[in-house]
C-alpha cells in the first residue's frame, strides 16, 4: 500500500477559554496545555492562531476575545457572554484554517455545529455531570479526552484519548531535599486539602500549601469557614503560601519530600502529578481518576485509601528512585509527545488518506505516538489490522499510548469517527 504524506504547514486555530490568560500567570491547567501545544506546533513550522484574552502572550498570531482574562481580574459573574464573544470571533474567521481546535469544554459542541472548517474539541474537565448525556446525544465527531478515565464515563462516545504534556525537562531538581510535604492546587473540599493537613499531622512532617482561592461565593466561604480554621489549628507545621507563580511552584515541588494528592475528586488528568514527578518528587495520592494512568504504585509513589493510610506509607518514599521517576515522566508526558499525537490527528483530519506523518518542513519523524482511539466498546482499534485490510482487530485499553513507527499507519480511527461530517 502506498503511503500518503501531509507535508505542508497546516493553518491551525487554538481556541482557549476566556477565563485565564495564555499562558496563565499561576493556576490554569487548560490554558497551560494550550500554550504548550501552541509552542510545539509553531516550533514544527505550522501557522498557528490563538483565540484568547488580549492579555495573553503567545508565539504566534493572537485574536483577542476579551480585553482581560476573567478570573485574574476578580470576575465572579456569569462567564457566558465572554464565551459567546470567543465563539463569535471564531465564526468570523471560519474558513481561514485547515483545523479549528477548541478547548471551550461544553461550548465546543455548539461551536462545532456552526462551523464549516474541520474541527476537533478537547475536553479538559469532568464529563460525569447530570446533563452531559443529553448534550453528547447529538455530538459531533472529533472529540478528544485527556485520559481513559475521563473518557470512560461516556463509553458510547468515540473518544480519541491524548494525554496532556508539558515541557517537563525544564523542571528543577533540588539536592538535597527537605523532609516536608507539599500540596498544590485549589482550596476545595474535593481536592483533599484537609486530608493533606491530616497527613502532615500524622507523619510529623511540615506541609507547605500552594493553592488558589476560588472566586465563587461557596469557594470563598470554604476558605474562610473551613480552611483558615484548619490552618490555625495545625499551627506552625502547616504554611499557606497562596497561589504561586510558575518558578516558585516548581521550586516547591523540587524541595519537597513528597507531593500530596489525597482528594476524592476524579482527576480528568493531573498536571500537578506530572510536574511533581518531573522534579523527582514522588506522590502520595488516592487512586482516583486518571492518576493510575500516570503513577505506578510503589515506583512513582504510593496510593492509599485515606489520610491515615497515606501517612502510614509516607516513610516508604525514602526507598524510591527519584532520578528514575523523573526520567519516566519526561518520556511519557512531554510536550513533544503530546504534539506528535495532535499533529497526527490533524493530519488525518485534513487528509483521511494519510497513513504516515511528516513534520511541516517535510522531514519524516522516525517514531510517533499515535492517539488512542476508544470505541464505544471501550476498545482500541490497532493500526496493524486496519493497514492489512482485515476485519478490525481489537484489544483491551492498556496503560500506554499506541506507538506508531515507520511502516505503520498513524493514526487509525474507528469507522464511525473517520467520518468528519457533523450532526
Residue that wins the pLDDT comparison between 418 and 122: 122
The arithmetic mean of pLDDT across residues 206-215, rounded, is 92
358, with CB counted inside 10 A (0-12, 13-18, 19+), is: middle
The pLDDT-based confidence of 420 (bands split at 50, 70, 90) is: very low
Q: Which of 362, 404, 365 is nearest to 386 (CA)?
A: 404
What pLDDT score was predicted for residue 106? 96
What pLDDT score was predicted for residue 195? 97
Residue that wins the pLDDT comparison between 216 and 272: 272
Q: Do domains 5-165+334-418 and 168-332 have the same CATH topology?
A: yes
Answer whether CATH 2.60.320.10 is correct for domain 168-332: no
Residue that wins the pLDDT comparison between 383 and 270: 270
Task: Tell me the pLDDT of the chain averaged across its residues.
Answer: 85
Non-local (6+) Cβ contacts of 298 within 8 A are none
5-165+334-418: CATH superfamily: Glycogen Phosphorylase B; (3.40.50.2000)
The arithmetic mean of pLDDT across residues 148-166, rounded, is 97
pLDDT in tens, 35-94: 999 999 999 999 999 999 999 999 999 999 999 999 888 888 899 999 999 999 999 999
What pLDDT score was predicted for residue 363? 40
Domain boundaries, the chain: 5-165+334-418, 168-332
What pLDDT score was predicted for residue 354? 61
Question: What whole-number percentage of the chain has pLDDT above 90?
Answer: 74
The β-bridge partners of 285 are 261, 303
What pLDDT score was predicted for residue 134? 94
Non-local (6+) Cβ contacts of 7 within 8 A are 358, 360, 362
pLDDT in tens, 331-387: 999 999 999 999 999 999 998 766 444 344 444 343 345 566 665 544 333 333 333
Rounded to whole angstroms, the Cα distance separating 179 from 318 reads 10
CB 39 within 8 A of CB 335: yes
The pLDDT-based confidence of 215 (bands split at 50, 70, 90) is: confident
Rounded to whole angstroms, the Cα distance separating 313 from 352 reads 49
What is the DSSP secondary-structure string of 242-268?
Answer: ESPPHHHHHHHHHH-SEEEE---S--S
Record the cell numbers describing residue 34, joined without a space. 494550550
Record the cell numbers describing residue 284, joined without a space. 502520595
Amino acid at each position: 500500500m502506498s503511503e500518503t504524506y501531509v507535508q505542508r504547514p497546516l493553518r491551525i486555530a487554538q481556541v482557549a477559554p476566556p477565563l485565564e490568560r495564555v499562558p496563565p500567570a499561576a493556576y490554569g491547567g487548560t490554558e497551560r496545555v494550550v500554550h504548550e501545544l501552541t509552542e510545539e506546533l509553531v516550533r514544527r513550522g505550522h501557522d498557528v492562531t490563538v483565540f484568547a484574552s488580549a492579555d495573553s502572550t503567545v508565539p504566534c498570531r493572537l485574536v483577542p476575545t476579551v480585553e482581560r482574562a476573567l478570573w485574574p481580574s476578580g470576575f465572579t459573574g456569569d462567564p457566558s457572554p465572554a464565551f459567546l464573544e470567543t465563539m463569535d470571533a471564531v465564526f468570523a474567521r471560519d474558513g481561514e484554517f485547515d483545523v479549528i481546535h477548541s478547548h471551550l469544554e461544553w461550548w465546543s459542541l455548539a461551536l462545532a455545529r456552526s462551523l464549516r472548517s474541520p474541527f476537533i474539541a478537547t475536553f479538559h474537565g469532568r464529563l460525569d455531570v447530570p446533563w452531559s448525556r443529553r448534550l453528547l446525544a447529538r455530538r459531533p465527531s472529533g472529540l478528544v479526552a485527556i485520559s481513559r478515565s475521563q473518557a470512560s464515563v461516556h463509553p458510547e462516545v468515540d473518544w480519541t484519548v491524548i494525554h496532556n504534556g508539558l515541557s517537563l525537562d525544564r523542571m528543577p531538581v533540588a539536592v538535597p531535599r527537605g523532609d516536608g510535604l507539599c500540596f498544590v492546587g485549589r482550596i476545595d473540599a474535593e481536592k483533599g486539602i484537609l486530608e493533606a493537613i491530616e497527613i502532615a499531622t500524622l507523619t510529623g512532617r511540615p506541609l507547605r500549601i500552594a493553592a488558589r482561592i476560588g472566586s465563587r461565593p461557596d469557594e470563598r466561604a470554604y476558605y474562610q469557614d473551613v480552611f483558615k480554621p484548619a490552618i490555625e489549628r495545625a499551627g506552625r507545621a502547616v504554611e499557606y503560601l497562596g497561589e504561586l507563580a510558575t518558578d516558585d511552584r516548581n521550586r516547591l515541588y523540587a524541595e519537597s519530600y513528597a507531593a500530596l494528592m489525597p482528594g476524592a475528586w476524579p482527576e480528568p488528568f493531573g498536571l500537578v502529578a506530572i510536574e511533581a514527578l518531573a522534579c523527582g518528587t514522588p506522590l502520595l495520592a488516592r487512586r482516583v481518576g486518571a492518576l493510575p494512568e500516570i503513577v505506578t504504585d510503589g515506583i512513582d509513589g504510593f496510593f492509599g485509601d485515606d489520610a491515615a493510610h497515606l501517612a502510614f506509607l509516607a516513610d516508604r518514599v525514602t526507598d524510591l528512585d527519584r532520578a528514575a521517576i523523573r526520567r519516566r515522566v519526561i518520556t511519557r508526558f512531554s510536550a513533544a509527545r503530546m504534539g506528535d499525537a495532535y499533529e497526527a490527528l490533524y493530519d488525518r483530519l485534513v487528509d483521511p488518506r494519510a497513513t504516515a506523518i511528516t513534520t511541516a518542513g517535510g522531514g519524516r519523524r522516525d517514531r510517533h505516538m499515535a492517539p488512542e482511539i476508544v470505541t464505544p466498546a471501550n476498545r482500541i482499534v490497532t493500526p496493524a489490522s486496519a493497514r492489512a485490510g482485515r476485519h478490525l482487530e481489537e484489544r483491551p485499553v492498556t496503560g500506554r499510548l499506541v506507538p506508531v513507527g515507520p511502516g505503520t499507519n498513524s493514526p487509525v480511527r474507528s469507522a464511525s469517527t473517520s467520518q468528519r461530517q457533523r450532526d
